[in-house]
Amino acid sequence: MEQLVEELQRAEVGKVLANELLANHTTMKIGGPADILVEPSGLEKLQETMKIIHKYKVKWTAIGRGSNLLVSDLGIEGVVIKLGNGMDHLEIKENEVIAGGGYSLIKLVTIVSKKGLTGLEFAGGIPGSLGGAVYMNAGAHGSDISKVLKKAHILFEDGEMKWLTPDELRFSYRTSLLQKERPGICLEAILNVEEGNREDVVKQLQKNKDYRRDTQPFNYPCAGSIFRNPLPKYAGQLIEEAGLKGYTIGGAKVSEMHANFIVNDNKAKAQDVKDLIDYIKKTILELYNVNLETEVEIIGRK
């Protein structure tokens, strides 16, 4: 790994850190070390990073702003690529928004809405990056990324880069092609927006943000929704009806504000969260014969 670190540093690909704690890079403030963490300073440097990784034949994992993510206490093997400051360009052209995969989704939606452009208000308050939102087809308030995406620039595991349409990304509820069928990361995306009444757009965005603030526990370290909704039922409603609000294992607790959130209440370990997830799934299956599936992505060494 030392040779790999040295080559990445010589290539000046961006920030290169060895044995970096991933708790510093996730919204849940949980996660052991990455063997190597790279934050590329731009698209060309990301391509250079991938060439070097393939040369050394090591595993790689991509993260954005660390939401919707639970990283193992043992960390992640190989190279973790963080899409951050070097991958956060933004351009607004008439009815299109072109932005880097590392761009903050909350910041993006706020800027676009203040220009009186409508279509992205549903994402007000959704944490994380644009790339992560495409990866998991993030959504709320009856809409999601698949409904506003024109195309996305994807880097696949084998190094191929390609622009894909929503149909090609095979979006469904909180999933896309990139999660299992063909692993990849979203480098940038083009979103469709329309001209609207600025006052109305900003008002709707603020309403969505206020709803999240009032109903979800983002004042605690958390990853976002833990389970997918087993439609037409809602995971949070089932967990609440089961009497599990406030239930604690180790430092992890089912939020008392919203039962589909697990918060890092007291220096929680990833194992605490995993054990709590398993307990919730077992309880809901026994009580309601419903199999809950995780929405949060659990990654790293086992």
All structural domains of the chain, each given as residue ranges with its CATH number in brackets, are 2-86 (3.30.43.10), 88-215 (3.30.465.10), 235-299 (3.90.78.10)
Structure tokens at 74: 């043992």
Q: Which amino acid is at 210?
A: D
**From the centroid of its chain, how far is CA 246?**
25
Alpha-helical regions (H) of 69-156: 105-114, 130-136
Among 37-41, 50-54, 265-269, the range scoring the smallest mean pLDDT is 50-54
Distance CA 42, CA 14 (A): 8
pLDDT band at 63 (very low <50, low <70, confident <90, very high): very high
pLDDT band at 160 (very low <50, low <70, confident <90, very high): confident
pLDDT: which is higher, 34 or 175: 34
Distance CA 124, CA 113 (A): 10
pLDDT band at 153 (very low <50, low <70, confident <90, very high): very high
Among 141-155, 205-219, 232-246, 252-266, the range scoring the smallest mean pLDDT is 205-219
Catalytic residues: 174, 225, 295
The residue-averaged pLDDT of 255-279 equals: 97
Does residue 240 have a pLDDT over 90? yes
Structure tokens at 208: 């969505």
Does residue 158 have a pLDDT over 90? no
Q: What is the pLDDT of residue 180?
A: 79
Q: What is the pLDDT of residue 131?
A: 94
- Three-state DSSP class for 24? helix
Cis-peptide, bond into residue 232, ω within 30° of zero = yes
Distance CA 302, CA 298 (A): 10
What is the share, in percent, of the chain residues with pLDDT greater than 90?
82
pLDDT band at 91 (very low <50, low <70, confident <90, very high): very high
Does residue 126 have a pLDDT over 90? no
pLDDT band at 1 (very low <50, low <70, confident <90, very high): confident
Question: Is the model's pTM score more than 0.85?
Answer: yes
Does residue 179 have a pLDDT over 90? no
- Three-state DSSP class for 156? strand
Does residue 251 have a pLDDT over 90? yes
Q: What is the pLDDT of residue 191?
A: 98
Selection from 150-164, 201-215, 239-253 with the highest mean pLDDT:
239-253
**Per-residue pLDDT reduced to its tens digit, 279-299:** 999 999 999 999 999 999 999
Average pLDDT, the chain: 94
Q: What is the pLDDT of residue 168?
A: 97
The residue-averaged pLDDT of 119-126 equals: 91
pLDDT band at 270 (very low <50, low <70, confident <90, very high): very high
Q: What is the pLDDT of residue 154?
A: 95
296 Cβ contact partners less than 8 Å away, ≥ 6 residues apart: 68, 69, 70, 223, 224, 225, 226
Does residue 183 have a pLDDT over 90? no
* Closest alpha carbon to 218 in 88, 107, 104, 68: 68
